[in-house]
Amino acid sequence: MQFSEFFGEYFVFLQNYFYKNIEKMTREKLLDYANRIQILLSSEEVDLILLQINNILEYTSVLEEFDCKNSEEFQFMISEENRLRDDISHPSILLVEALQNAANKNENFFKVPKVIE
């Protein structure tokens, strides 16, 4: 499995790991997790992933300092509503009208040059 394919499963693992432990990831733990999800990693990939996980854990450890017990839950970062126009349906033009200015047509279809060979 390529490193890019591994990233999705690595992210799920990281979420599970992060919510259970905020301790540093060791090479042995990483190899154990990789073995559990049946992924073979090269030594370079293990080193890179280990560095990335520990950097993320160190970076997110700042969150431990905040007391969020009395915080209000929210779904969106901003309170603005959608400013798009209302979706109002209108009658379409007739097929004959749509095809009348076509340079090349075939009964009920526009004919265009072939793009894929």
Sequential DSSP letters for 40-107: ---HHHHHHHHHHHHHHHHHHGGGGGS--TTPPP-S-S--PPP-PPP----PPPPHHHHHTT-SSEET
Could you give the 3-state DSSP secondary structure of residue 110? strand
Taking Cα atoms as reference points, which of 99, 19, 28, 91 lies closest to residue 60? 19
Q: What is the pLDDT along the chain (117 residues), one digit of tens a residue?
A: 555 555 566 666 665 655 554 578 899 989 998 898 888 999 999 999 999 988 888 887 777 777 767 777 666 666 677 778 888 898 989 988 889 888 898 888 888 888 887
Domain boundaries, the chain: 3-65
